[in-house]
Chain A
């Protein structure tokens, strides 16, 4: 791929379409001295962002047109929110001030961009906007749920030869976005750094389960039964942390948080199709008492054997705390020196 020299900052244009703006709001939670300095220091020049830039109306339209026409070099196009194809393929559910479908504008910009980045699961795969009856006929930039295609098609490549980079998540963690942009600016992103769904492997090669503070409950299958219980949420509460690709429990959100630390299930929001799990989100689907969704890479027979063994070996402390909202039995204190 063509690397841009470090001296030359990359021009970034950020657009929003069929989403909630939550990935931008999450970005503002970034733990840096000043987000804008960090981006600048990482070699990113912000051309325009709809929530943050000064330019309105005509001035903003000119910035975008200059990118389309090649007057301004477009190095990174970020799209936040799904592509809205409806009604009837017209893109009319989201029009620009000029009356053109935003869908068409995004396609033009992706055609000239050095890199095209889908920020969030909506832009990557369609996400929540494509749930249920699909009223807006939403899709991602290069995927329609887990099927390659989307707006730009399976064969789309940016001018550097990369497919769309999918920073999936609902919302995205601020550092996933900042670090992907910084990696692009220093030429560190190549095909090998992206996984099968084109997600940056720096966070997608992990599972939400890694670093889960409920791990002792998981080990003994000591399970929570209602929200606020301390136990493992895999067996009853719909938690998909053992299957979801993300580093939410080692990177942490808003200081010391994550979904499971917040007392609720991981709904695997970085995975395509998470918005339609085929079961109530907060209930674990089971067959014969065994959860259908087993931990990634875990053979079913072993899971069943180990689960039943560990259940029968559960210490009283773990068993009782699992169904309480605070420790009702605290770890024993030994009288002898620990070996």
Chain B
């Protein structure tokens, strides 16, 4: 058995290191290490409850709005506060803008550049992939960066700036939108739609979102006359058989995304090997047996604590191991779309299990499904009506704030006593996906997804198939440990 340590694992958000035990040219077992600890849960202790809105976005530069949304929801729940319709719509638009921008950044800046590696020199598509997706110099980067920056003008209006806004408040949004701005925002959405339809999909969003099976997807990709980037990806992915790569636990969950009145745009739930069910968050426990963290038993986040123990034997990550009733969970766009029962993602996962292709397609599908809904949310905003209610005093309370970030299920558990934060515990999406082993020795979702991968020769210490699998989860390591 040979131990291969892959790090620094770049083009992910934050720091990551993956250790692989390799025998017979295959990964036998994997160990995922989140090598950086900052201690936000300790930083939040004894703070004024509303100060959480300043600190938590700064856990993460790429999902800062999701952190704000979870925190403002936890505070609103503790205060028994319901934002007005305008406030809810503005908050949904802000979170959706971040999620779409993150999905775009992931596809173009983090994921696709691996196909431009010299490793793939012999492939028919290599020259095209290199011209298009090479990191830093690829033609796609030159197109997507300005389009993304322009789209982020939405944040200038809705959130003041991105990252690190304070516009998401427990009582709604601090940024009232005027009629003229409503019009400008709709132009920004239209501009992104045009970019996506021309450059990424090569088709209109609704047509792509209506695909309902793997065979429909492949037929669609085949029929694209333009050289759009999603059909490009599919051609490469199926040539490399990436649909057979990176299967994880077969168990996914979503907290439910984009609350809109009584309903969520994408519902909450659990999906376990083909069976959909309700999600019970009361059975979430955080195991620390393999984390450099104090504690003996796995605790519910509401009563949990996060205190480092750097010299702990058997530990190999700062990341805790959250489990749902003892079970390993995958979360993210794929999970949301499976739980929501989208036929295309459902078919991809039923045929091959959760895999590299399904994860990437699910993200792009979300872009295609969410942008049209953003157009509708924007139309429903009524300038002149309230955007935000005043926060009420909060002396004592316990609450939870659950949201779906780009990378999956994010939860904040808040306890306030005598007007101060007594305990604040956070479980981020990548904490689920990249967790270390638990007390029973069960590996986390990525650790499972890496087992069995064929390790190529001449890989400079970073097998490319390992990179595809790791990046297919779109990890956010700064959120993972925080």
Task: Please give, as numbers and ranges, the residues of chain A lying within 8 Å of B178 by CB-CB distance.
Answer: 326
Please give the distance in Å from A304's CB to the nearest CB on chain B. Answer: 27
Q: Which of A22-55 contact B (CB under 8 A)?
A: 22-26, 28-37, 46, 50-55
Q: Chain B contact residues: over half helix, strand or loop, or mixed?
A: loop
Please give the distance in Å from A323's CB to the nearest CB on chain B. Answer: 11
Q: Which of A19, A33, A228, A326 has the most CB of B within 10 A?
A: A228
Task: Please give, as numbers and ranges, the residues of chain B lying within 8 Å of A164 by CB-CB distance.
Answer: none
Q: Which of B60, B146, B154, B156 contacts A32 (CB 8 A)?
A: B146
Kindly state the separation between the CA atoms of A319 and B158 in the bound complex, as whole angstroms.
Answer: 25
Task: Please give, as numbers and ranges, the residues of chain B lying within 8 Å of A56 by CB-CB distance.
Answer: 6, 8-11, 460, 462, 467
Given contacts A54-B116, A258-B161, A280-B50, whether A20 and B64 have CB atoms under 8 Å apart is yes
B161 touches A262 (CB 8 A): yes
Task: Please give, as numbers and ranges, the residues of chain B lying within 8 Å of A52 by CB-CB distance.
Answer: 11, 109, 135-136
Least CB separation from A224: chain B residue = B174
A245-257 Cβ-contact flags toward B at 8 Å (1 or 0): 0000000111111
Residue B35 CB within 8 A of the other chain: yes
Kindly state the separation between the CA atoms of A325 and B178 in the bound complex, as whole angstroms.
Answer: 10
A264 touches B166 (CB 8 A): yes
Kindly state the separation between the CA atoms of A133 and B161 in the bound complex, as whole angstroms.
Answer: 28
A59 touches B462 (CB 8 A): yes
Q: Which of B1-15 contact A (CB under 8 A)?
A: 5-15
Residue A225 CB within 8 A of the other chain: yes
Given contacts A18-B36, A262-B166, whether A255 and B174 have CB atoms under 8 Å apart is no
Task: Please give, as numbers and ranges, the residues of chain B lying within 8 Å of A61 by CB-CB distance.
Answer: 8
Least CB separation from B12: chain A residue = A51
Kindly state the separation between the CA atoms of A56 and B11 in the bound complex, as whole angstroms.
Answer: 8
Kindly state the separation between the CA atoms of A131 and B41 in the bound complex, as whole angstroms.
Answer: 11
Q: Which of A36, A50, A54, A326 contacts B384 (CB 8 A)?
A: A326
Residue A242 CB within 8 A of the other chain: no
B61 touches A136 (CB 8 A): no
Q: Which of A55, A138, A253 contacts B38 (CB 8 A)?
A: A138
Task: Please give, as numbers and ranges, the residues of chain B lying within 8 Å of A263 by CB-CB distance.
Answer: 160, 167, 173-176, 388
Q: Chain A contact residues: over half helix, strand or loop, or mixed?
A: loop
Task: Please give, as numbers and ranges, the residues of chain A lying within 8 Å of B137 by CB-CB distance.
Answer: 36
Q: Which of B148-178 contact A (CB under 8 A)?
A: 148-150, 152-167, 169, 171-176, 178
Residue B332 CB within 8 A of the other chain: no
Q: Which of A130-158 contact B (CB under 8 A)?
A: 131-133, 135-136, 138
Q: Which of B64, B105, B171 contacts A226 (CB 8 A)?
A: B171
Least CB separation from B165: chain A residue = A262
Stretch at the interface among A90-98, A106-114, A329-337: A90-98
Kindly state the separation between the CA atoms of A255 and B157 in the bound complex, as whole angstroms.
Answer: 8
Please give the distance in Å from A179's CB to the nearest CB on chain B. Answer: 16
Please give the distance in Å from A133's CB to the nearest CB on chain B. Answer: 5
Given contacts A97-B7, A257-B161, A281-B54, whether A226 and B388 have CB atoms under 8 Å apart is yes
Q: Which of A95-133 contact B (CB under 8 A)?
A: 95-97, 127-129, 131-133
Task: Please give, as numbers and ranges, the residues of chain A lying within 8 Å of B43 by CB-CB distance.
Answer: 128, 131-133, 135
Q: Which of A90, A132, A138, A260 contacts B45 (CB 8 A)?
A: A132
Least CB separation from B389: chain A residue = A226
Given contacts A36-B141, A280-B48, whether A171 and B61 have CB atoms under 8 Å apart is yes
Given contacts A135-B308, A262-B167, whether A228 and B173 have CB atoms under 8 Å apart is yes
Kindly state the separation between the CA atoms of A87 and B450 in the bound complex, as whole angstroms.
Answer: 32
Residue A84 CB within 8 A of the other chain: yes
Given contacts A16-B15, A50-B8, A133-B45, whether A84 and B36 have CB atoms under 8 Å apart is yes
B169-206 Cβ-contact flags toward A at 8 Å (1 or 0): 10111111010000000000000000000000000000
Q: Which of B33-81 contact A (CB under 8 A)?
A: 35-39, 42-48, 50-51, 53-55, 58-62, 64
Task: Please give, as numbers and ranges, the residues of chain A lying within 8 Å of B39 by CB-CB distance.
Answer: 133, 135-136
A22 touches B174 (CB 8 A): no
Q: Which of B110, B136, B172 contacts A228 (CB 8 A)?
A: B172
Task: Please give, as numbers and ranges, the residues of chain A lying within 8 Å of B159 by CB-CB distance.
Answer: 254, 257, 262
Residue A167 CB within 8 A of the other chain: no
Please give the distance in Å from B49's CB to the nearest CB on chain A. Answer: 9
Task: Please give, as numbers and ranges, the residues of chain A lying within 8 Å of B48 by CB-CB distance.
Answer: 280-281
Contacts A52-B135, A56-B10 supplied; 17 other A-B pairs, CB < 8 Å = A21-B61, A26-B163, A28-B105, A50-B11, A54-B113, A57-B6, A93-B310, A94-B36, A97-B7, A227-B172, A228-B176, A254-B156, A257-B156, A257-B161, A264-B160, A264-B166, A282-B166
16 contacts across the A-B interface (CB closer than 8 A): A28-B145, A36-B136, A52-B136, A54-B113, A95-B35, A127-B58, A132-B42, A170-B58, A254-B159, A256-B157, A258-B161, A262-B159, A264-B174, A281-B54, A282-B53, A326-B383
